[in-house]
Amino acid sequence: MLQVFRNHKAIAFGRCLKATARFCHALVFPHQCMKCRVLLDPGTAAPHTVQACFCKTCLSMGLPLFAPPFCPRCGLQFATGENHLCEACLKRLPRIHQVRAALSYQGLVKDILPLFKYQARLSLTRFFEPLMFDAFSLFFEKADIHRILPIPLHARKVRQRGFNQSFLLVRRFSKTYASIHGVQPLWQVDTTSLKRDRYTSSQTGLDVAVRRKNLKNAFQVTDPAAVKDCNILLVDDVYTTGATCGEAARMLLAAGANRVDVLVLARA
C-alpha cells in the first residue's frame, strides 16, 4: 500500500515537473506571430502550419500558394485561363527548362520574405522548409533531378549575413525525403560545385538589363565533372526578373549540364 502511494506521488511529481517545464518554455519562447510578434494562442494548431506561425490579422493579407494558371517555362502566373507560354517565352525560349515555386510573391509573402533574408528571422525556416519540399515533390519528383544547387552567395555576403537563405530552404531535403520514402534520394544537395566569384550589391529595384549586366560572369562552376550531363535544380528565395538564376544556368549549361530547372520559395 505504501509502495503504491509512493508510485502515485512520484508520477504526480513527474507531471508537475513537466507542466512547470512547459510553463517556463512558454515564458522564454512564447508562441508569437512570425511577422508582427503578437502572442498566439499556443493551443490547437499543429506546428509548422500557417495557423501556428501567423496571427489571424497577418494571415488575412493572404499567403497564396504558387498554382496554375502559369507559363510552363518561366512560371509567370496568370489571373485566369489555362497554363500557356507567356509572351516573353514565346518570343525567345529561356535557357531554364522550368521555373516553379512554393508561393506566389503576393500579400503576406512580400512582408515575410525580407524578414527572413535581411533581418535573419530564421525561425521562418521551419515554415518555409515543408512548403519548399511539397513544391519540390509536386513539380520535380519525376523530373530525374541529379543535383540540387542553392544559388551561392559571395563569401563576403555570407560573412555579412551569416547564412545563405537559399541553402536554408533545402538544408533538410535529404532527411525529409528519407523519412517519407524510407530510402535515401537519388539526388543530392550540392553546395560546392557552383560558386559566386563576384560581389554584387542588392539587385532590388534595378531593371532587367542592369541586373543582367551586374551578374555577368558572377558565377563559376568549380567542378565541371560534377555537373556534366546532370539535370540540375537551382534553388533561390525569390524569382523576379530571373537574372540571377539565368546567369547561373548559363554557366552550368556551358560547363556541360544537361538541363537546368529552378525552384524558388516565391515567384513574383
**Positions in the binding site for Zn ion (CB under 5 A):** 33, 35-36, 55, 58, 71, 73-74, 76, 86, 89
Q: Which helix (H) or strand (E) holds 13?
A: helix 2-28
Closer of 60 and 192 to Zn ion (Cβ): 60
Closest separation between CB of residue 58 and Zn ion, Å?
Answer: 3
**Which residues lie closer than 8 Å to 225 by C-beta, 6 or more apart?**
none
Compute the distance between CA of residue 148 and CA of residue 133 in angstroms, rounded to an integer: 12
Q: Are 170 and 132 in contact (CB under 8 A)?
A: yes
Closest separation between CB of residue 20 and Zn ion, Å?
Answer: 29
Closest separation between CB of residue 99 and Zn ion, Å?
Answer: 8
Closest separation between CB of residue 157 and Zn ion, Å?
Answer: 29
Closer of 171 and 212 to Zn ion (Cβ): 212
E strand map for 34-157: 99-104, 147-150
Closest separation between CB of residue 53 and Zn ion, Å?
Answer: 9
Closer of 100 and 146 to Zn ion (Cβ): 100
**Which residues lie closer than 8 Å to 145 by C-beta, 6 or more apart?**
187, 231, 232, 233, 261
Closer of 35 and 147 to Zn ion (Cβ): 35
In 10 A of CB 112, how many CB atoms?
Answer: 24
Compute the distance between CA of residue 49 and CA of residue 68 in angstroms, rounded to an integer: 22
Closer of 74 and 255 to Zn ion (Cβ): 74
Compute the distance between CA of residue 236 and CA of residue 105 in angstroms, rounded to an integer: 13
Closer of 190 and 236 to Zn ion (Cβ): 236
Closest separation between CB of residue 141 and Zn ion, Å?
Answer: 22
Helix (H, G, I), strand (E, B) or coil at 117: helix
